[in-house]
């Protein structure tokens, strides 16, 4: 059970010789104090009777206030303890008087900086941009969690759309991270449920289609004439390699070393998910790798010579900078290749991933195997490709309507 008492805090004497009167809650030998708002010189406090001495000008009124507040506090503590016997003194105080407003940006910055400390540089940059955009919107002012209401979010969404010219799905990503911050704050008991505006505010999302290459379009890229040894040729072969090898992400292709290749499989740790994967290479992929295989190659050399062989990939910032730069270079050349192949699609390396998935499903590979080879954490991530293939089949059946 908890005990409640009125105490004169001699340990809190100020320069004027005054100390506060607090209500003290003790439970399980843990103490919490609630201020009464009254400050007194020690000479005006009766320690034996635990009340303000009669010689104080407002002693009757103040003692009445303390008595009533004390009784109210006892009733409230009893009520909350009856409901939750495991409540702590801090929780009892918060239940009775509410939580103090929590600084939103202070909490948000802690979450964002944790990504950087964990070496997740790309995620850090993305989410830090979200928080910076919100700080710009409020012109650098401090805001509490309670300040972010459904009405606030509606106005902020209009600002992102009209002033920042952001698309609906980009706005969705910004607001989705803000929602995560609120959920984390709620989970850590920083805010009350009623202070989470996302329980009433629905995020908007536009349906998008994933671009991929058909067999003929992939063949058209393969047939573009490039000069061996030049970057354009290297980037083309990296793209084709990924389109035949489980749709590996560009970061994973860039980080492939000869020690990851056993002559049949590539054995890697996926950059994004950190999961381990072994992929048997089809003939086309082995043919491409063979072009870069030399006696002078060391096991630690990269298969596709884009990154410096001595790069410190254990340094998250260096790794991010090098991979980002290489990816931009590859995607620039892929757009040129698409033009030469006369493809009416904005080609990027990630399309090789979509291409592999849709081709694999069309060729009869089961969705669970496609999911495994793509390194998806959940099969629902893979189901989008199954929907694409099914839509193609539906369109094919429309020929019977002609």
Count Cβ atoms below 10 Å from residue 153 Cβ, excluding itself. Answer: 19
Asked which of 97, 115, 149 is the last residue of a domain, the reply is: 97
Do residue 230 and residue 311 come from a single domain? Answer: yes
Evaluate whether 374 touches 359 at the Cβ level (below 8 Å).
Answer: no
Q: Is residue 206 part of a domain?
A: no
Digit-by-digit pLDDT tens for the chain (402 residues) are: 678 899 999 988 888 889 999 988 887 778 888 888 888 899 999 999 999 998 888 899 999 999 988 888 888 777 766 665 555 655 555 655 555 667 899 999 999 999 999 889 999 999 999 999 999 999 989 899 989 999 999 999 999 999 999 999 999 999 999 999 999 998 887 887 888 999 999 999 988 777 899 999 999 999 999 999 999 999 999 999 999 999 999 999 999 999 999 999 999 988 777 778 899 999 999 999 999 998 889 999 999 999 999 999 889 999 999 999 999 999 999 999 999 999 998 899 999 999 998 898 888 888 888 888 888 777 777 777 777 777 766 666 676 676
- Whole-number pLDDT of residue 96: 53
Sequence-ordered strand ranges (E) for 64-123: none
Structural domain of 150: 104-199
Q: How far apart are CA 40 and CA 24, in angstroms?
A: 17
Beta-bridge partners for 41 = 18
- Whole-number pLDDT of residue 83: 60
Asked which of 199, 229, 247 is the last residue of a domain, the reply is: 199
- Whole-number pLDDT of residue 201: 95
Q: Is residue 204 part of a domain?
A: no
Count Cβ atoms below 10 Å from residue 144 Cβ, excluding itself. Answer: 15
Do residue 281 and residue 180 come from a single domain? Answer: no
Element (H, E) at 8: strand 3-8
pTM of the predicted protein model = 0.68
- Whole-number pLDDT of residue 320: 92
Phi first, then psi, for residue 70 (nearest 5°) are: -65, -45
Q: Is residue 29 part of a domain?
A: yes
Asked which of 65, 97, 129 is the last residue of a domain, the reply is: 97
Do residue 354 and residue 310 come from a single domain? Answer: yes
Do residue 386 and residue 244 come from a single domain? Answer: yes
- Whole-number pLDDT of residue 58: 86
Do residue 35 and residue 53 come from a single domain? Answer: yes
Find the CATH number of the domain harbouring 220: 1.10.443.10
Q: Is residue 68 part of a domain?
A: yes
Q: Is residue 282 part of a domain?
A: yes
Evaluate whether 374 touches 269 at the Cβ level (below 8 Å).
Answer: no
Do residue 110 and residue 24 come from a single domain? Answer: no
Do residue 373 and residue 249 come from a single domain? Answer: yes
Find the CATH number of the domain harbouring 169: 1.10.150
What does the CA dihedral 341, 345, 349, 354 come to, rounded to 10 degrees?
A: -110
Q: Which residues contact 24 (CB under 8 A, 6 or more apart)?
A: 4, 5, 6, 7, 31, 32, 33, 34
Evaluate whether 155 touches 182 at the Cβ level (below 8 Å).
Answer: no
Do residue 91 and residue 166 come from a single domain? Answer: no
Do residue 229 and residue 361 come from a single domain? Answer: yes
* pLDDT single digits (tens) 123-145: 999 999 999 999 999 998 989 99
Q: Is 58 exposed, middle or buried (0-12, 13-18, 19+ CB in 10 A)?
A: exposed
Q: Is residue 127 part of a domain?
A: yes
Work out how many domains the chain is built from and give that number: 3
- Whole-number pLDDT of residue 95: 56
Do residue 25 and residue 88 come from a single domain? Answer: yes
Q: Is residue 326 part of a domain?
A: yes
Q: Is residue 208 part of a domain?
A: no
Do residue 237 and residue 385 come from a single domain? Answer: yes
Do residue 228 and residue 86 come from a single domain? Answer: no
């Amino acid at each position: 059970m908890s005990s409640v008492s009125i105490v004169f805090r001699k340990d809190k004497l100020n320069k004027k010789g005054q100390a506060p009167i607090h209500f003290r809650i003790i439970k399980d030998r843990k103490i919490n104090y609630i201020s009464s708002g009254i400050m007194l010189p020690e000479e005006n406090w009766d320690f034996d009777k635990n009340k303000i001495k009669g010689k104080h000008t407002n002693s009757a009124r103040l003692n009445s206030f303390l008595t009533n507040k004390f009784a109210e506090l006892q009733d409230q503590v009893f009520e909350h303890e009856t409901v939750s016997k495991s409540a702590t003194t801090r929780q009892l105080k918060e239940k009775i008087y509410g939580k103090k407003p929590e600084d939103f940006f202070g909490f948000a910055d802690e979450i964002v900086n944790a990504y950087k400390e964990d070496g997740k540089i790309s995620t850090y940059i993305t989410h830090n941009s979200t928080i910076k955009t919100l700080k710009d919107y409020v012109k650098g002012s401090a805001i509490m969690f309670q300040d972010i209401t459904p009405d606030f979010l509606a106005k902020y969404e209009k600002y992102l759309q009209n002033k920042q010219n952001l698309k609906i799905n980009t706005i969705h990503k910004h607001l989705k991270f803000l929602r995560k911050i609120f959920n984390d704050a709620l989970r850590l008991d920083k805010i009350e449920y009623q202070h989470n505006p996302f329980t009433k505010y629905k995020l908007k999302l536009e349906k998008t289609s994933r671009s991929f290459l058909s067999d003929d379009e992939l063949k058209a890229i393969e047939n573009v004439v490039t000069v061996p040894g030049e970057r354009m040729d290297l980037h083309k072969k990296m793209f084709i390699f990924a389109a035949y090898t489980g749709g590996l992400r560009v970061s994973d292709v860039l980080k492939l070393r000869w020690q990851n290749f056993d002559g049949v499989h590539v054995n890697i740790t996926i950059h994004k998910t950190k999961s381990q994967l072994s992929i048997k290479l089809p003939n086309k992929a082995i043919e491409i790798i063979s072009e870069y295989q030399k006696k002078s190659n060391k096991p630690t050399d990269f298969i596709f010579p884009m990154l410096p062989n001595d790069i410190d990939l254990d340094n998250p910032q260096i790794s991010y900078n090098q991979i980002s730069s290489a990816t931009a270079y590859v995607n620039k050349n892929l757009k040129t290749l698409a033009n030469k192949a006369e493809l009416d699609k904005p080609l990027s390396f990630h399309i090789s991933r979509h291409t592999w998935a849709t081709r694999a499903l069309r060729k009869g590979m089961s969705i669970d195997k496609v999911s495994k080879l793509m390194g998806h954490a959940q099969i629902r991530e893979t189901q989008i490709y199954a929907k694409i293939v099914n839509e193609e089949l539906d369109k094919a059946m429309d020929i019977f309507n002609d």
